[in-house]
Amino acid sequence: MAASGYATNEGTARYAARHGEACGDGHFRRGQNLSWSSIGIGTYLGAGNDATDALVADAVEAVVEGGMNVIDCAANYRRERGEKSVGSALDRVLTKGDVRRDELIVCSKGGFLPHGGDWFEKEFVGTGEITADDLVGGSHCMHPDYLEAQLEQSLANLGVETIDVHYVHNPESQAGKVPGAIFKERLQAAFRMLEGAVQAGKIRAYGAATWNAFRVEGNQAGAMSLTATKNAAQQVAGDLPDHMKFVQLPLNLAMTEALIKPVQDLGGKGLTPIRAATNLGLRVMASGSIRQAKLGELPAHVKLALGEDLASDAQRALQFTRSAPGVGTALVGLKQPNHVEQALALCRTAPIAPSKILAMFGK
């Protein structure tokens, strides 16, 4: 039976109060009428086997019980096994009763294919209004019928009645590859479906989970305007408030554009992606926080700035992202028990002052 309910103001505040004494000051943050942990678990990488499923499920259970209430996944992660592993963990923790559904913020995404082009052609092409032209790059589809089907599958995989935040996954996969007018139509159609899903109680809010879209110059392939994206949602909603409230984009020590590069135009002024998103009322979720452990050894001055007392460079990298001004939650992929413990240990450490983060860039 699917778990009923969704993250609430009261529930997430209860969770934060229960873990607040053990966690460092600034670990829990308010946004969109919820209390969010400053670090959330990601579930992207890993082999498609039972051993990885068990590691991911155990990691989700451990962090949820240890002070992290944000869980991020997607329909295509490990060919649906990512979501199913999260579902197994949620079933365990909710059955034990130590954690309630209204305390957890469960996020997922739709857009990429979890099972390849042949699967898409067999299952979707020719059904309803979906055609082969709706598949871009052999891996991405934003047709509302496809996104709706994937949402239903995500709900089943996760074992929940409602997903708190559901993203269109890397919409820039189509930006620049189809004519601009068609891309706008497709994005609005996706948002229209998601607004309907909110009304149906299947999701609480939605957003765009991106990689390049919002952090590259406007003349580069796949670049997207945050203003235009938010306007697309507002146009779909009409006279009612829209529910496009989130943006996910990468931020780490090697990819700092979201924090320091003024590539987004807002009212004729160039702003950084994080600042522009915040001004548009969007909550920023940072992905790739430790760049999938590919940052290498940090220079001595960076270690000093981020905390020589921390146990590892991975902790320092995560400390950078969670402390960056404007970041709501820093997402990090976790499977191995020692990595889980390091992330939870950082939860018990206060973030760095935003001014110190900006000072690293002479700002």
DSSP-based helix, strand, coil % in the chain, nearest 5: 45, 20, 35
The kind and range of the H/E element at 203 are strand 203-209
CB 284 within 8 Å of CB 226: no
Q: Give the max Cα distance, the chain.
A: 59
* Count of structural domains within the chain: 1
pLDDT in tens, 3-43: 999 999 999 999 999 998 888 899 999 999 999 999 999 99
Is residue 248 in some structural domain?
yes
* Euclidean distance between CA atoms 254 and 299, whole angstroms: 12
What distance in Å separates the CA atoms of residue 2 and residue 267, rounded to the nearest whole number?
44
- The DSSP element (H or E) to which 182 belongs, if any, is helix 180-199
Does residue 3 form part of some domain? Answer: no
- 1 belongs to a structural domain: no
If you average pLDDT over residues 91-99, what whole number do you get?
A: 96
pLDDT of residue 292: 73
| Assigned domain for 114 exists | yes
Residue range of the domain that includes 19? 9-359
Residue 2 included in any domain:
no
C-alpha 325/C-alpha 182 separation (Å) is 35
Task: Give percent of the chain above pLDDT 90.
Answer: 90
CA-nearest of 98, 24, 110, 29 to 70 is 29
- pLDDT, the chain, mean: 95
Token duo for residue 328 = 């709501």
Q: What is the pLDDT of residue 236?
A: 97
Query: Is pLDDT larger for residue 9 or for residue 294?
Result: 9
Q: 103 in a domain, yes or no?
A: yes
What CATH number has the domain bearing residue 169?
A: 3.20.20.100
Closest CA to 324 of 267, 266, 250: 250
Nearest CA to 360 out of 313, 309, 307, 315 is that of 307
* Predicted TM-score of the model (pTM): 0.97
